[in-house]
């Protein structure tokens, strides 16, 4: 895991976010996603600078489409958001979790 992923994982593991279970580096279809919550059908992806490259953007768009076809919601954050405002990141993730 990257530093940003480790930081977020500390706040997601052991059902710490509203009691929802997240798995890190979890397989979904042919992909390995950063974090997955099966109950909410929610994928969380953290993006570093490499995701700004045109070929990576194209890959990410195709992957997002495939996940959507499976009925899975994908939420993306850049690493800096996790480092600089993790509380806001957690708040945004929580909005995707059924109450």
Domain limits, the chain:
3-94
CB 12 within 8 A of CB 35: yes
Assess if CATH 3.40.960.10 describes domain 3-94: yes
The dihedral over CA atoms of 56, 58, 59, 65, expressed in degrees to the nearest 10, equals 140
User: Is residue 51 predicted with pLDDT exceeding 90?
Assistant: no
In angstroms, the CA 69 to CA 29 distance is 11
Mean pLDDT (whole number) for 32-37: 97
pTM, full prediction: 0.92
Residue 42: Cβ-neighbour burial (10 angstroms; 0-12, 13-18, 19+): buried
pLDDT band of 17, cuts 50, 70, 90: very high
d(CA 19, CA 88): 18
- In whole angstroms, give the CA distance from residue 93 to residue 28: 19
The pLDDT value recorded for residue 69 is: 96
Residue 68 dihedral angles phi and psi, to the nearest 5° = -60, -40
Looking at every residue in the chain, the average pLDDT score rounds to 93
């Amino acid at each position: 895991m990257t530093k940003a992923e480790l930081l977020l994982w500390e706040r997601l593991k052991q059902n710490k976010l509203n009691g929802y279970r997240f798995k890190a580096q979890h397989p979904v279809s042919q992909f390995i996603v950063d974090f997955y919550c099966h109950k909410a059908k929610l994928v969380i992806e953290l993006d570093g600078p490499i995701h700004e490259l045109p070929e990576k953007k194209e890959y990410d768009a195709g992957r997002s489409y495939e996940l959507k076809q499976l009925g899975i919601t994908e939420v993306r954050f850049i690493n800096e958001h996790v480092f600089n405002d993790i509380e806001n990141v957690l708040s945004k993730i929580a909005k995707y979790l059924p109450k």
